[in-house]
Amino acid sequence: MIDRAQIGKTWGPWIVDVEKGRLRLLAKAIGETRPVYVDEAAAHAAGYRSILAPLTFAYCLLADDPGGHGYLGELGIPTERILHGEMQLKRFDSICAGDRIRVTRVLSDVIVKKGGALEFAVFDSDVTNCDGNRPVARIRNLLAVRHAP
Amino acid sequence: MTTVQIGDPIPSLTLPPLSRATLALYAGGSGDHVPLHIDAAFAKGAGYPDVFMHGMLGCAYVVRALTAWVSEDAVHDLQVRFVAITYPEEVLTATGVVSETAVDGVPNRCRVDLELRNSAGERKLAGFAILDLPT
């Protein structure tokens, strides 16, 4: 069981420099071939600063926590027992290659289901463009933790 | 202004059979290195028959369908629930349908319900997006 006393624990902020190569790799991975997502000239022509990040990229920046999955270990959650439950993303702005982004994470709640066989750890993250401190996204992430019956 | 009505579908997107190579690429591009998705021995040790798809890759697929229909700059809100696990070789189709118009009283704001299902019709992901149509 996740210790409820951990609710309110925070991680970060961490800073991510968004690289063209990573965005091209992500586009390849998700099968996104439209030029604004892979070609800088096309992105400029469409009015973007550089190659555009897919909408779900804001979520990917949560994985850039320099501690990796360490935050799960700090909460006593074994990696092999997690499943992604839900994801909610409020989008305020685009992310483009060259952006410097700041990311935070807080454990907002722990929800017990099925008599304790399943728990949801609720994390909230703010994703902010360091240029002008502009909010990019607010993400709520629910990780399901399967406990032995 | 583009007008839509409740029940209007967005163009669907059918993906190639899910490959392990795609999972490896997604692990690299997304930064999600959880071994359940890329290391079959680890996945089996955790009680799964094989590696399985990152939930957020499924989310990326429904967003591809959505943003082929409307620019991602139009999207305010995206919420998804991961309903079932997807294994290699499954064939997924992302669909969307307009479920609400004039959201919050804003004439061009609509809600699109999103789904991802395999070729047997099993639902993998359910969610919605709130977006503003071009005026």
Region A12-41: mean pLDDT is 97
Is A91 close to B35, i.e. CB distance below 8 A? no
- pLDDT tens string A95-144: 999 999 999 999 999 999 888 889 999 999 999 999 999 999 999 999 99
Q: What is the ipTM of this complex?
A: 0.95
Looking at residue A149, what is its pLDDT? 54
Closest CB to A31: pick one of B34, B36, B64: B64
CA distance, residue A28 to nearest chain B CA (Å)? 8
Is B63 close to A29, i.e. CB distance below 8 A? no
CA distance, residue B56 to nearest chain A CA (Å)? 8
Looking at residue A45, what is its pLDDT? 98
Residues in chain B within 8 Å Cβ distance of A28? 25, 29
The tokens describing B70, both together, are 């409307």
Q: What single-letter DSSP state applies at residue A72?
A: H
Is A69 close to B34, i.e. CB distance below 8 A? yes
Q: What's the rounded Cα separation, in Å, for the pair A118 and A82?
A: 10
Q: H helices of A1-132, where?
A: 20-30, 40-45, 57-60, 70-74
Which positions ≥6 away from B7 have C-beta within 8 Å?
Answer: B97, B98
Q: How many CA atoms lie within 13 A of A83 on its CB side?
A: 19
Region A80-93: mean pLDDT is 95
Prediction pTM value: 0.96
